[in-house]
Structure 1
Amino acid sequence: MTVKQALKRPEILAPAGTLEKLKTAISYGADAVYIGGNAYGLRSRAGNFSFAEMAEGIKYANDHHAKVYVAANMVTHEGNQAGAGEFFREIRDLGISAVIISDPALVEICITEAPGLAVHLSTQASATNYETLEFWREEGLERVVLAREVSMEEVAEIRKHTSVELEAFIHGAMCISYSGRCTLSNHMSMRDANRGGCSQSCRWKYELFDLPFGTERNRLTPSSVSEKFSMSAVDLSMIEHLPDLIENGVDSLKIEGRMKSIHYVSTVANVYKKAVDSYMDDPKNYICKQEWIDELWKVAQRELSTGFYYHTPTENEQLFGPRRKIPQYKFIGEVLNYDEDTHIATIRQRNVFSVGDDIEFYGPGLRHFTQQVTEMRNEQQEIIDRAPHPMMLLTMPVTQPVQVGDMVRKRK
């Protein structure tokens, strides 16, 4: 692909299920984050933000030259729209940069009742062609999140025919259903997936049975096929293909995962920030480094693929049978303080670790180093050989300088 002139640096857009994750994502390189409010979103189990938390998050983002978007992408039934205008006005006045919507009723309410608040079309609306994007542009939307089923060839064609901003997913979980519009959860657990209650029925483990033609149902026999999952897609990762996205005019690179940990958010934002910066510094000589790929695998919970960008997913993009690659790291803590004179770090524990463990510190800019735990002390400065209690504070000597906000992990 020929490098175009005056390439625009894309925004790195990270998930933020809580205020802590918002600050982490921005600290580790995100240009913008998307959060959920207390209504109209699709992640009822995420740590959705109160207005007070939104205000704090917006201030933090503004201080770091970042933006905050609110996902309000539920499919509304009769009565669900009540209060939407007031909600949109409230978040507009707080300083939210844009709201992400899929339902046309909520789009209309936002545009008419909260003028000045930018609207982005959610991927739930399944926008797959430039005529659709032009329709939404004429309605007043400034950005469209493309359907995850769009190919790279289609991204290029869409960019040629519309000026609306393009947002595309680059990393994270993929839904087995078209653009996430699924009712499996509704039928199997009475939780409405399109109104925030998805129970992820596609991720459940199912038993398979053989049913030869003409066999009575009460004579089912277990299948000889050993499958732990029947409908579970692998995750998306476009780290090796960022030039295609940038050169085809994608304005915002979106990371999935509002319910993922700060370990996940920090690592993924960190890697894509480094990769995008590297590409923009020297597009013609850009190379995707193996260390970036290895870093992403430290937080991957499923196998990775390029989704629909280059071909229609096959059985190789589904989870079945024994795992083909297993995550090898776990998040064990974060740095709260560092004394430059004594080289002692104060750490908040997140998972159990012990003296003698080999651990890795990492921070923004892909700073990282490994060392062995040689000594630990609890808050009473008593020597301990194990940190077993969640969120406990401890101190330990470190072999290289660390910074507040750095993370700690170890091999499982």
Structure 2
Amino acid sequence: MKLDRRYKMTTLKRPEILAPAGTLEKLKVAIRYGADAVYIGGNAFGLRSRAGNFTYEEMEEAVAFAREYGAHIHVAANMVTHEGDAKGAGEFFRQLRDVGINAVIVSDPALIEICITEAPGLPVHLSTQSSATNFETLEFWKKEGLERVVLGREVSMEEVAVIRENTDIEIEAFIHGAMCISYSGRCTLSNHMSQRDANRGGCSQSCRWKYGLFDLPFGEEARSLTDTGEVSEPFSMSAVDMSMIEHIPDLIQNGVDSFKIEGRMKSIHYVSTVANVYKAAVDSYMEDPENYVCKQEWIDELWKVAQRELATGFYYQTPSEEEQLFGKRRKIPVFKFIGEVLAYDAETKIATIQQRNHFRLGDEVEFYGPGFKHFNQTLTEMWNEDDEAIEKAPNAMMIVKMPVEQPVEPGDMMRKKK
């Protein structure tokens, strides 16, 4: 679809790459692999109760690490509060401010008011949960004192252009990751199915469960529409994931200030790969916009960590049945994360690896690291911590030494085809 832009920035601004960080380890990985900022959860007021939410002590360490790289940290406090839920919010926000958090992401007006009045100096960003989909809404929140709005994931690229043309508040938009089947995440399916409140941090992702489909004629027994005697797949009520890697120019030229990657509960394999790819793409575009080309290797790289099929959400059209998850997968990821480099001896060309998944001699593996560096090799020799020769590495987190064909650095990753 050809985009009829109503707005085009005359001076291009490099967007921030904002990555998820469910744990301190993931935060450090995201920043090393190219994220300009990360968003995390605190010990209260967030929507990911099962993510590795940060203590204040961990936040202090995270802030110190981020400052070394010139990166920012945002804290998601985007729950919908019921009576009594906002207790302690003022102290929570003040502690975030004093620790050195750069911004807090909020959806509930009560929490926004508490943060602005009781923790002055802590910037507030509006969460996507608030469904900001027009410039009048952004102007309203700007007047309330907010510095940035995360757009609803239902906004089209044409609407992004109109919004940018009519307001100068910072715009943050999702560019990669899971899509919620409900409007901007405001869902009660989990409440009904598992008695876990999705908008207070307890979503059980009921939309991703597998369901049977039945015909219920009046006065007759239910008849399955999926159990036909043949091999069949049950239905879900879920969307495919988003990927905007092929549309970086549209996002930048239409004034998106922050590229948001979804996935605080995803692995370091996912975080490192996706941050690495989008940094490479954004850097390439900013260096030479006129001759920019989306590289196939970037697309292929994202598929190595994809959990579902990929599409562009609502940016260019209303999703059809092709952007919903049902039936058999049309494309299945084929790589798994198997190790992280702890050390490298340049003289012996021996790398020390911490195992994350099973591998053995004869496996063809891929090493990758920050700056989009990659190389493949076959494993021909391995030793354990006691320098004893081994044929396989079956034990979780075990230390393995191996010769590598090219230099590697601590923090580089290793993966292989499933």
- The TM-score normalised by the length of structure 1 is 0.98
What letter matches 2:349 in structure 1?
H
Q: 1:45-102: CA deviations, max 9, x gaps?
A: 0000000000000000001000000000000000010000000000100100000000
Structure 2, unmatched stretches of 5+, are: none
Say if 1:88 and 1:110, in contact at 8 Å, map to a contact too. yes
CA distance in 2, matches of 1:273, 1:228: 38
Query: 2:404 — aligned with what?
Result: 398
Mapping of residues 130-279 of structure 1, within 5 Å? 130-212=135-217, 214-216=218-220, 219-224=221-226, 226-279=232-285
What letter matches 2:277 in structure 1?
V
Give 3-state SS (helix, strand or coil) of 2:236's partner: coil
**CA offset at residue 22 of structure 1?**
0.3
Give 3-state SS (helix, strand or coil) of 1:390's partner: coil
What letter matches 1:220 in structure 2?
A
Query: 2:294 — aligned with what?
Result: 288
CA distance in 1, matches of 2:219, 2:46: 45
Alignment length, in residue pairs? 409
Give 3-state SS (helix, strand or coil) of 1:99's partner: strand
CA distance in 2, matches of 1:91, 1:329: 38
What letter matches 1:33 in structure 2?
V
**CA offset at residue 227 of structure 1?**
3.9
349, 357, 360: which is aligned to 1:354?
360
- Asked if 1:49 is matched to 2:51, the reply is no
CA distance in 2, matches of 1:184, 1:321: 21
CA distance in 2, matches of 1:236, 1:254: 11
Query: 1:90 — aligned with what?
Result: 95
Say if 1:335 and 1:347, in contact at 8 Å, map to a contact too. yes
Give 3-state SS (helix, strand or coil) of 1:171's partner: strand
Mapping of residues 21-40 of structure 1, within 5 Å? 21-40=26-45
Say if 1:359 and 1:410, in contact at 8 Å, map to a contact too. yes
Query: 2:327 — aligned with what?
Result: 321
Mapping of residues 294-305 of structure 1, within 5 Å? 294-305=300-311
Say if 1:346 and 1:393, in contact at 8 Å, map to a contact too. yes
Q: 1:361-410: CA deviations, max 9, x gaps?
A: 00011100000011111111111111001111110000111011000000
- My pick for the range that moved more, 219-228 or 110-119, is 219-228
Give 3-state SS (helix, strand or coil) of 1:287's partner: coil
- Asked if 1:62 is matched to 2:67, the reply is yes
- The TM-score normalised by the length of structure 2 is 0.97
CA distance in 2, matches of 1:19, 1:215: 57
Identity value in percent = 75
CA distance in 1, matches of 2:235, 2:54: 33
Give 3-state SS (helix, strand or coil) of 2:40's partner: strand
Say if 1:328 and 1:411, in contact at 8 Å, map to a contact too. yes
Q: 1:94-119: CA deviations, max 9, x gaps?
A: 10000000000000000000000000
The runs of at least 4 aligned residues of structure 1 exceeding 2 Å deviation read 1-5, 224-230
347, 351, 356: which is aligned to 1:345?
351
Give 3-state SS (helix, strand or coil) of 1:383's partner: coil
CA separation of 1:118 and 1:4: change in aligned 2, threshold 3 A: closer
Say if 2:8 and 2:255, in contact at 8 Å, map to a contact too. no
- Asked if 1:367 is matched to 2:367, the reply is no
- My pick for the range that moved more, 346-355 or 225-234, is 225-234
**CA offset at residue 230 of structure 1?**
2.5
CA distance in 1, matches of 2:75, 2:411: 25
